[in-house]
Amino acid sequence: MGSETNVSRETVEFDDTPIARAARQAVEVRSGELTMPRPRHRRVFSVANQKGGVGKTTTTVNIAVALALAGLHVLVIDLDPQGNASTALGVERTTGTPSIYEVLIGEYTAAEAIQTCPDAPRLGCIPATIDLAGAEIELVGMEERESRLKKAIDGVEAEFDYVFIDCPPSLGLLTVNAMVATHEVLIPIQCEYYALEGLGQLLRNIDLVKQHLNTTLDVSTILLTMYDGRTKLSDQVANEVRNHFGPKVLASVIPRSVKISEAPGYSQSVMTYDPGSRGAMSYLDAAREIAQRGAKEPS
């Protein structure tokens, strides 16, 4: 087995075809040789888009796993009552499991609710259970209702380089909690006809949170998802988004991919389900861009 790995590695060093690149990536991921730079300080992202089906949870999970497999310490907070991020990361989310709901109402600390992802030992996850569905109603009557998640995250040890909060596809109190708790917003935008529908309202809400609750909040990262190179529409949407948001848009684009869609059914990210696939390669590129943007200055 070792000799086969060596041959593969030597071969792909001199070959930059898509097949060779996929082989090289699979070798890096499975051998533990993948590396990315550490950030200058802990980076905390809300992954948000009020429009459903844009790849928000998929983006959260795969970028988090990619960073964790590259040696960084990552925490995912599943703030969506559907709990899809928890499922994709293979963590327990049955009723009675310590979850983000209990953290928000003060029954557990964030540290007590963290589980370790089976496929990525450096990745922790605070899961969402069905109990979270009623949390917005309960939070309305609580003190400091907009900042409860921020206080919970502030209490977590500084070992995490990245924190990603998977927001629900709405602009309610849970999403406000996420934005009060974070410095950066990552918005996935699908390369389809209604891509920018509702985006203006999301940006206005982010501005309101910035003005009144969190002056450090910034839309730092835009990721284009569901790109189909066979259509002019995908190129038109991508160009429109790049013209509007400029350098905030990552160069990496996430293609439509069967492997990306299949992976959650096996309680995995595409990064571990099929690390040599186009989808995994694209998310790895996106994660690398994010890591490089926030990298520590060379000593």
How do residues 67-77 score in pLDDT, each as one tens digit?
Answer: 999 999 999 99
Instruction: Provide the CB-side half-sphere exposure for 299 (13 A, CA).
Output: 3
State whether residue 182 is helix, strand or coil.
coil
Work out the average pLDDT over 126-141.
Answer: 90
Task: Compute the distance between CA of residue 69 and CA of residue 183 in angstroms, rounded to an integer.
Answer: 24
Residue 2: its pLDDT value, please?
Answer: 47
DSSP 99-130: -HHHHHHTSS-HHHH-EEETTEEEEEEE---G
Work out the average pLDDT over 204-226.
Answer: 95
Task: Compute the distance between CA of residue 127 and CA of residue 7 in angstroms, rounded to an integer.
Answer: 41
What fold, for 41-293?
Rossmann fold (3.40.50)
Residue 26 banded pLDDT, cuts 50, 70, 90: low
The whole-angstrom distance between residue 135's C-alpha and the CA centroid of its chain comes to: 22
Task: Compute the distance between CA of residue 294 and CA of residue 184 in angstroms, rounded to an integer.
Answer: 11
Q: Of all helices (H) and strands (E), which one includes residue 28?
A: helix 18-31
Put simply, whether the predicted model's pTM sits higher than 0.95 gets the answer no
Q: Which tokens sit at 92? A: 């327990």
Q: Where are the domains of the chain?
A: 41-293
Reported as a single tens digit per residue, the pLDDT across 250-268 is: 999 999 999 999 999 899 9
Residue 224: its pLDDT value, please?
Answer: 95
Reported as a single tens digit per residue, the pLDDT across 30-63 is: 555 688 999 999 999 999 998 878 889 999 999 9
When comparing pLDDT for 115 and 94, which is higher?
115
Question: Range with the lowest mean pLDDT among 1-15, 110-124, 148-162, 196-210?
Answer: 1-15
